[in-house]
Amino acid sequence: MTAAPTTGPDATTEQAALDADGSDPGWRELFVVPPAEGGPYPQAAYLVGNSLGLQPVATRADILADLDSWGRFGVEGFFDGERPWQSYPQRFAASMAGLIGAGPAETVIMNSLTVNLHLMMASFYRPRGERVRIVVEDNTFPSDSYAVRSQARWHGLDPDDAVVRLRPRPGEHHLRTDDVVDLLRREGPTVALVLLGAVNYHSGQLMDIPAITRATREAGAVSGWDLAHAAGNIPLQLHDWDVDFAVWCMYKYLNSGPGAPGGAFVHERHVDDPAMPRLEGWWGTDAAVRFRMDAIPQPPPTADAWQVSTPSALGLSPMRAALDLFETVGMTTLRERSIRLTGYLERVLDDIAASRPLTVITPRDPQQRGCQLSVRIDQGDAGEVARRLRHEHGVITDFREPDIVRAAPVPLYSTYHDCWRFADALTRLLP
C-alpha cells in the first residue's frame, strides 16, 4: 500500500486535485453523497458537513434492523434481540469517549446540545456573591447565547451585566488566547463559568482548550466547552485537560443524522460528588433499580446520572455506523488527512483571492483550526453566492450572516476535487 502524502498537492489545477484523490482518497464510498443540482458532475461537492454530516451507507440497514426489532419484540426490544435498545446510550458513550479523550464513565449520550447545556448549567452555574458572570465569545452560536442569557435571568440577574462577550481586537477576526487569560486574571473573582466553542462556528478558529481551561480553574471558575464543531473534527483530551464539562451534537462531523441525540462530558471528579445538584429523571437513576420507581433517586457514579428521560432508540440507531467508522479509521489518521485537505483548499482559495473580492478569515495555522474555512465575500451578497454555488455548480456550502460562506472539507468523505470545484465556481461567480 502506498503511504499517504504528508501534504496536499502544491499545484492548484484540476488534474492535480484528481491525482491527489488517487493517492489520498479518503472513505467517500462509505457515504451517500447527494446528486449535484447543477454543473457537469453527477455528485455534489458536499462541503457542509459542519452543519450536517453525510449518511453512512451502513446506516439504512441499522435503522431497518431496529424497526424490525420494534415489530418483532415491541417494548421487549429494550431488553431482547441481538441489539437491546437499553444498552445503546452506554455502548455509544464508550465509543464516543475515545473521540473526546474521556473515560466511558465521564461520557453520556442524551438529549440535544442546548438541552444538555441547560442540564450542565443547572449543575455547574451557581452564582454566588460577586462570582456571577458567564464568559462567552461575542460570536458564539446563537443557541448558546440564548441559553446563557436565560440562565442568568433564571437566577435573577440582568443578562446584559452577567454575560461577558469576548471580542477580537479591532481589525482582527480571532480571539487571542492571551487576551482570554488576561481577562480571567484581572476579573476572575467575578467569573462563575467560562463557556466557549472549542471550534468557533463562525470563524472556524480552534481555541486553545488546555490553556484557557487552566486559566479558568486558576480563576476559581468552571470550564465548559461546546464541542459542536470540534467532536469528530479535531483530537480532544478532555479528561487530561481537566475540563469540568462539555456538550456536543452528533449530527455534524459525527454523521449521526438530522437532529440526532447529543452528548455530554462530566469530569470524573464531579460524577460521584453527592453535593452536586442535578435536574433528575428516572433514566438518571441506577439501571438495576430504575424500574422500582423509588421516591428517592439512586444516581450511578457516572455521567449517566445526568440523564433525565428515556432515550430514543431510533434516534440513536444511526450512531452505530457512524461511530464504527471513527473506530476503524482513527482520529489521528483523520486529523492528518484533514490538515492536508484543508491546506489544499486554502491554497486554491489563495490563488483566486488576489483577483476576487474574498477573504479567508479562519486562522492560517493548521493547529488553530479544524477543517472549516470561513470565506468572507467582500463585495456582493454572500447568501446569493452560496445559493448559486449549489444550484448552478453543484457545490454545497452554507451562508452565515452577514457575509460568510463556510466550506468544510470533511476528511472522511470530501475530496481534493471537491475543493477545486468550490474555488473554480467562485472564480465564475465573483467579479
Contact 240, 106 (CB under 8 A): no
**Which pLDDT does position 2 carry in this prediction?**
43
Least Cα distance to 8 among 383, 274, 295, 340 occurs for 340
**Which pLDDT does position 1 carry in this prediction?**
33
Grid coordinates representing 330 are 482513527
Mean pLDDT on 208-232? 98
pLDDT in tens, 12-38: 899 999 999 999 999 999 999 999 999
Cα–Cα separations (whole angstroms), residue 287 to 74, 106, 295? 20, 17, 15
pLDDT in tens, 117-134: 999 999 999 999 999 999
Rounded-to-integer distance, Cα 410 and Cα 334, Å: 9
**Which pLDDT does position 254 carry in this prediction?**
98
Q: State the DSSP string of 54-77.
A: PEETTHHHHHHHHHHHHHHHGGGG
Rounded-to-integer distance, Cα 153 and Cα 356, Å: 46
The pair phi, psi for residue 231, each rounded to 5°, is -65, 125
If you ran DSSP here, which 8-state letter would residue 250 be given?
A: S
Cα–Cα separations (whole angstroms), residue 288 to 86, 164, 169, 291? 12, 43, 54, 8
Cross-strand partners of 137: 166
Cβ neighbours of residue 280 closer than 8 Å, sequence gap 6 or more: 297, 299, 305, 308
Torsion sign (Cα): 118, 121, 126, 132: negative
Written as one letter, the residue type at 66 is D
**Which pLDDT does position 259 carry in this prediction?**
96
| Class at the top of the CATH hierarchy for domain 63-326 | alpha beta
**Which pLDDT does position 78 carry in this prediction?**
95
Cβ neighbours of residue 189 closer than 8 Å, sequence gap 6 or more: 130, 131, 219, 220
Written as one letter, the residue type at 354 is A
**Which of 34-43, 122-131, 245-254, 295-304 has the lowest average pLDDT?**
295-304
Least Cα distance to 264 among 63, 68, 121 occurs for 121
Rounded-to-integer distance, Cα 428 and Cα 416, Å: 19
Residue 10 has pLDDT above 90, yes or no: no
If you ran DSSP here, which 8-state letter would residue 283 be given?
A: G
Residue 7 has pLDDT above 80, yes or no: no
Residue with cell 473580492: 357
Grid coordinates representing 42 are 453527477
- Would you give the distance in Å from CA 22 to the centre of its chain? 29
Cα–Cα separations (whole angstroms), residue 20 to 79, 98, 380, 417, 420? 48, 30, 33, 8, 11
Residue 397 has pLDDT above 90, yes or no: yes
Contact 338, 233 (CB under 8 A): yes
Rounded-to-integer distance, Cα 380 and Cα 90, Å: 49
pLDDT in tens, 100-120: 999 999 999 999 999 999 999
| Ranges assigned E (strand) in 289-400 | 358-360, 373-377, 395-396, 398-400
Question: Across all residues in the chain, what is the average pLDDT?
Answer: 96
Mean pLDDT on 386-412? 98
**Which pLDDT does position 35 carry in this prediction?**
98
User: What CATH number has the domain spanning 14-32+331-429?
Assistant: 3.90.1150.10
Residue 294 has pLDDT above 80, yes or no: no
Give ranges for CATH 3.90.1150.10 in the chain.
Answer: 14-32+331-429
Least Cα distance to 351 among 431, 430, 424, 428 occurs for 424
Cross-strand partners of 263: 109, 248
Is the peptide bond preceding residue 402 cis, with omega within 30 degrees of 0?
A: yes
Residue 5 has pLDDT above 70, yes or no: no
pLDDT in tens, 143-188: 999 999 999 999 999 999 999 999 999 999 999 999 999 999 999 9
Written as one letter, the residue type at 69 is S
If you ran DSSP here, which 8-state letter would residue 4 be given?
A: P
If you ran DSSP here, which 8-state letter would residue 133 be given?
A: E
Phi and psi based region of residue 74 (left: phi greater than 0; alpha: psi -120 to 50; beta: remaining):
left
Mean pLDDT on 310-339? 97
